[in-house]
Amino acid sequence: MTHVCSPLRYPGGKAILYEKVKEIFEKNALNGYSYREPFADGCELALKLLLKNNVKDIHINDIDPFIWSFWYCILHKIEELIEKINTTTVSLEEWYKQFF
C-alpha cells in the first residue's frame, strides 16, 4: 500500500515524479533549498519532498480558488476547518446548500 501525504486525492498527481525530482535535487546539490509549486493540486509531491527532508520548505499556489482556499485553511485556519468538518451534516441537502 502506498503512503499518502496529502488529504486530497488527485488522480494524475505529480507524486509519481518523486524519485526523479529527488534525484534531480541530489545531483544538483539542491537538498535543503525551498520547493515552489505553482499548481499545487493535491500537493502530494511537495509534501513528500518536505516530509522526507529533501527540501527545507515549500511554497504552494493553485489557480483553482477552491484548492487554494483549502490549502490556505490548512495553513492559517486549521481550527476553524476542523470545527466545520466536525459540525457540518453530511447530506445531499447540505451539499446543495454549500455548492449553489
State yes or no: pLDDT of 46 exceeds 80: yes
Displacement of CA 74 from its chain's centroid (Å): 9
Q: How would residue 40 be classed by pLDDT, with cut points 50, 70 and 90? A: confident
Instruction: Return d(Cα 27, Cα 21) in angstroms, integer.
Output: 10
Check residue 2 and give its pLDDT: 59
pTM of the model: 0.78
Q: How would residue 11 be classed by pLDDT, with cut points 50, 70 and 90? A: confident
Instruction: Return d(Cα 35, Cα 11) in angstroms, integer.
Output: 22
| Average pLDDT over every residue of 29-45 | 93
Q: Average per-residue pLDDT in the chain?
A: 91
User: How is the chain split into domains, by residue range?
Assistant: 14-99
